[in-house]
C-alpha cells in the first residue's frame, strides 16, 4: 500500500503545482483529453501489470498495438463489420500473446529476448501492411468505440474502466489471481506446490497482448485512422507505469490501482507540458527522471526501513 499512498501524494503535489503554473489544465475539455489518453495507455499498462506480477515483462505491446490499429482499419475499410473487425483484431493480439507465453514458459527463453523479437515482428508487420501510410477509416460507423458515451467521454474509456476493475478484482479475489502472484513470487516453489505455472504465464501474456490490441483499436477509433506509429512507444511507457505503481520487476508484487494512478500521473504531466508549450520532447526526459526518483526512493526506503 505504501507505493499507492506515495503515488497519491505525488499526484496531489503535481496537480497543485500544475494549478499554479498552468491553470489551463483545469478545463473540462482538457480533463477529457487526459482521461482519453490515459485510457489508451492504461489498458496496455493493466495487461503489463499482470505480466510483471507473474514475474516477466512484455515489450511486444509497442508492436501489437500499431499492428492492431492497421489490421482493424484495413479490415473495416474492406467492408467487414465493426464487431467482426474488432474480434479478429483482438484474436490476433491474443495469438501473439499465446506465442510469447509459450516461448517464455515452455521453451524457457528469456522474456526480454522473446518480446523484443515479437515487438520487432509486429511493429514491422504494421509498417509492411500500411506501407508506412496512414489508413483513414472510410465508414463513419467504424469509429464507434471513439464516439461519446457520457460526459463527452468515448465508449472506450468505459471499456477501459471495466477492464481495470475486472483485472483488479481477478488479482485480488480469485484463484487465478493468486496463481499469478505465486508464479511471479517463486515460479519453482509454485510449480512444486502444484500450481499450473506455465498456463499462468501463457494466460497473462495472452491477456496483455490482447489488451495491447484493444489499445490499438481505441486509438484508431479516437483518431479515425490507423498508423504504424500508434502507441509504438507503449512498451517502455507501460513498464514505467507498472514500476511507478509499486511493482518490482522480480515479480510477485504490483497492483492495478498503483499502475492506474501512475498512468494518470504520467498523462497529466505530459499534458501539462503540452499545454504549457514546453515541448513534447521534454516529456520523455521528465518521465525518465520521475521513474529514477521513485525507484531510488523505494530503494532507499527498503534499505533503511526493513530487514535485509
Partner 1 sequence: MNAADISTTGSTRLAAHGLSKSYGATRALKNVDFRLGRGEVVALVGENGAGKSTLARILAGAVMPDEGRMFADGSPVRFRSPREALKRGIAFIPQELSYPPDFTTAENLVLGNWPSRHGLVTRARIRAAAAGIAAEHGLFLELERKMGTCRAADLQTAEILKALGRDASILILDEPTSALDREDSERLLRDLRLLANRGVSIVFISHRFDEVASFSDRICGFRDGELVEDIATADYQRSDLISRFATHSRRHRTDTSEAGSQKQPVLRLARWRSGGRTPLRDVSLEVQRGEVLGLYGQRGSGAEVLAEGLAGLTRPVSGWVMVDGKPRPPFRSSREASAAGIAYVPADRGRQGIVPTLSLHENLTLMKPSGHIVLRRSAERAFVDQQIKSWRIRCRNPDQRVSELSGGNQQKVLVASRLIAAPRILVLSEPTRGVDLPSRQQIHSNLRQLATAGTAVVVATTDVGEAANLPDRVVVLRDGQVMGELLGSHVSHAAILELSGGRR
Q: Give dist(CA 10, CA 273) in Å, integer.
A: 17
Binding to partner 1 by CB under 8 A, coded x per residue (else -) over 227-266, reads ------------------------xxx-------------
DSSP assignment of 112-169 = HHHHHHHHHHHHHHHHHHHTTS-EE--SGGGGGGGSEEETTEEHHHHHHHHHHHHHHH
Closest C-alpha among 308, 306, 296 to residue 6: 296
Please work out, in degrees rounded to the nearest 5, the angle formed at the alpha carbon of residue 186 by the alpha carbons of 6 and 176: 80
- Give me the DSSP letters along 277-304: T--HHHHHHHHHHHHHHHHHHHHHHHHH
User: Minimum CB separation from partner 1 for residue 181, in Å?
Assistant: 6
Our finding on whether 186 is near partner 1 (CB under 8 A) is yes
**Residue selected from 150, 175, 280, 281 as contacting partner 1 according to rule CB under 8 A:** 175
* Contact between 167 and partner 1 per CB under 8 A: no
**Assigned C-alpha cell, 68:** 492492431
Question: In this chain, which of 184, 226, 245, 258 binds partner 1, going by CB under 8 A?
Answer: 184
Among 4, 31, 191, 275, binds partner 1 (CB under 8 A): 191
Residues 52/70, Cβ–Cβ less than 8 Å: no
* Residue 28 vs 308, nearer CB to partner 1: 308
What binding mask, one character per residue, do residues 81-110 give for partner 1 by CB under 8 A, x or -?
A: ------------------------------
Number of residues that bind partner 1 (CB under 8 A): 26
Instruction: Assess 180 for contact with partner 1 (CB under 8 A).
Output: no
Residues 6+ positions from 88 with CB-CB distance below 8 Å: 71, 75, 80
Q: Among residues 185 and 276, whose Cβ is nearest to partner 1?
A: 185
Regarding 194 and contact with partner 1 (CB under 8 A), the answer is yes
- Least CB distance to partner 1 at residue 90 (A): 22
In the complex with partner 1, which residue's Cβ is closer, 124 or 176? 176
Beta-bridge partner residues of 150:
153
DSSP label at residue 24: G
Cell of 67: 499492428
Q: Which is nearer to partner 1, 91 or 301 (CB)?
A: 301
Closer CB to partner 1, residue 108 or residue 277? 108
Query: Is residue 77 close enough to count as binding partner 1 by CB under 8 A?
Result: no
Place of cell 471499456: 159
Q: Which of 21, 149, 193, 289 binds partner 1 (CB under 8 A)?
A: 193
Picking from 247, 155, 156, the residue whose alpha carbon sits closest to that of residue 204 is 247
Beta carbon of residue 57, minimum distance to partner 1 (angstroms, whole number): 16
Site for partner 1 contains 168 (CB under 8 A) = no
Q: Identify whether the C-beta of residue 137 lies closer than 8 Å to the C-beta of residue 143.
A: yes
Footprint of partner 1 (CB under 8 A):
173-178, 181-182, 184-186, 188-195, 251-253, 305-308
Amino acid at each position: 500500500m505504501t507505493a499507492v499512498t506515495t503515488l497519491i501524494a505525488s499526484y496531489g503535489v503535481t496537480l497543485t503545482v500544475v494549478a499554479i503554473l498552468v491553470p489551463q489544465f483545469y478545463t473540462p475539455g482538457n480533463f477529457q483529453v487526459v482521461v482519453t489518453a490515459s485510457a489508451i495507455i492504461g489498458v496496455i499498462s493493466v495487461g503489463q501489470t499482470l505480466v510483471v506480477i507473474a514475474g516477466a515483462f512484455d515489450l511486444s505491446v509497442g508492436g501489437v498495438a500499431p499492428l492492431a490499429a492497421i489490421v482493424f482499419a484495413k479490415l473495416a475499410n474492406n467492408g467487414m463489420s465493426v464487431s467482426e473487425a474488432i474480434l479478429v483484431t483482438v484474436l490476433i493480439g491474443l495469438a501473439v500473446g499465446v506465442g510469447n507465453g509459450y516461448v517464455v514458459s515452455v521453451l524457457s527463453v528469456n522474456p526480454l529476448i522473446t518480446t523484443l523479437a515479437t515487438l520487432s515482428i509486429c511493429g514491422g508487420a504494421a509498417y509492411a501492411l500500411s506501407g508506412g501510410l496512414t489508413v483513414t477509416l472510410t465508414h463513419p460507423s467504424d469509429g464507434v468505440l471513439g464516439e461519446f458515451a457520457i460526459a463527452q467521454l468515448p465508449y472506450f474509456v468505459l471499456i477501459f474502466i471495466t477492464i481495470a476493475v475486472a483485472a483488479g478484482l481477478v488479482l485480488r479475489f480469485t484463484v487465478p489471481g493468486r496463481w499469478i502472484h505465486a508464479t511471479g513470487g517463486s515460479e519453482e516453489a509454485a510449480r512444486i506446490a502444484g500450481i499450473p505455472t506455465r498456463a499462468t504465464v501463457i494466460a497473462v501474456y495472452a491477456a496483455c497482448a490482447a489488451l495491447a490490441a484493444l489499445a490499438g483499436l481505441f486509438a484508431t477509433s479516437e483518431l479515425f485512422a490507423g498508423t504504424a506509429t500508434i502507441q509504438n512507444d507503449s512498451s517502455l511507457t507501460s513498464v514505467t507505469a507498472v514500476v511507478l505503481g509499486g511493482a518490482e520487476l522480480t515479480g510477485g508484487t504490483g497492483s492495478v490501482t498503483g499502475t492506474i494512478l501512475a498512468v494518470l500521473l504520467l498523462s497529466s504531466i505530459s499534458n501539462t507540458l503540452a499545454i504549457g508549450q514546453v515541448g513534447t520532447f521534454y516529456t520523455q526526459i521528465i518521465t525518465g527522471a520521475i521513474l529514477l526518483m521513485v525507484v531510488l526512493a523505494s530503494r532507499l526506503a527498503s534499505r533503511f526501513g526493513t530487514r535485509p
